[in-house]
Amino acid sequence: MRNTSTMASRWLVSIILLMACSIQLGCSAPILSKRDASQERKERFIIFINDMRSAVAQKINIANMNELVWDKELERKASKMTCHRMVSGPDYSVEVMPTPLKMITSGMSFFVNLIRPAQTKIGCFEFHPPCVGTRRVNNAGVCLIGPKNKLNDEDILKGEPGSACPGETRHDGLCVVDGADVTP
């Protein structure tokens, strides 16, 4: 019998590889900026991220995966960051978004924070043009995701998706964020 942790890791890698393929084919989620982030683009981005979170919750049985909602304050904070200065705050962590080509060539580790169950809000900013960051990586933008700035494995509850939600559960197994303004 295989170790369930190993199988879960393989499912996660498979999902991430599928996302990389979709990026290569031009189906990627847009990275949003304060300058040109229309309501429709934000909604598509949130749908994409929540679909990804739901797929991960279904594949590896995460009982407490929250939906993500757009947060205008995190978007504002992200817009003030520079390519060389991106620091987590008390209620968010930083997720640097490499350019699509760099995503494919360097792996998808940046997506890990986007699928942590305890996170509930996100705000992003796109760099125009992309810049070279401190690790000599081309950065397309930055997303801030919260409310946690440090993540640990205790945040993950195993079980049927949606079975450990503190409130309502969406049809796709994600936990509804209480009091969230779901309009980006």
* CA atoms of 129 and 88, how far apart (whole Å): 23
Strand partners for 131: 139
Farthest CA pair distance, the chain: 52
Residue 92 backbone dihedrals phi, psi, to 5 degrees: -160, 160
C-alpha triplet 160, 164, 165: angle, nearest 5°: 120
What confidence score (pLDDT) does residue 22 get? 45
Strand partners for 105: none
Class of CATH domain 4-155: alpha beta
* CA atoms of 40 and 65, how far apart (whole Å): 24
Q: Write out the chain's pLDDT in tens, 184 residues.
A: 445 554 455 555 445 544 544 443 334 444 444 444 578 888 898 999 999 999 999 999 999 999 999 999 999 999 998 877 888 899 998 887 777 766 666 655 667 778 899 999 999 988 877 777 655 667 778 899 999 988 788 899 999 999 999 999 999 999 998 755 444 4
* CA atoms of 98 and 108, how far apart (whole Å): 10
Indicate the pairing of strand 121-132 with strand 69-70: parallel
* CA atoms of 171 and 121, how far apart (whole Å): 19
Collapsing DSSP to helix, strand or coil, 23 comes out as helix
136's torsion region: left (phi>0), alpha (psi -120 to 50) or beta?
left
User: What are the domain boundaries of the chain?
Assistant: 4-155
* CA atoms of 180 and 86, how far apart (whole Å): 26
pTM beyond cutoff 0.95: no
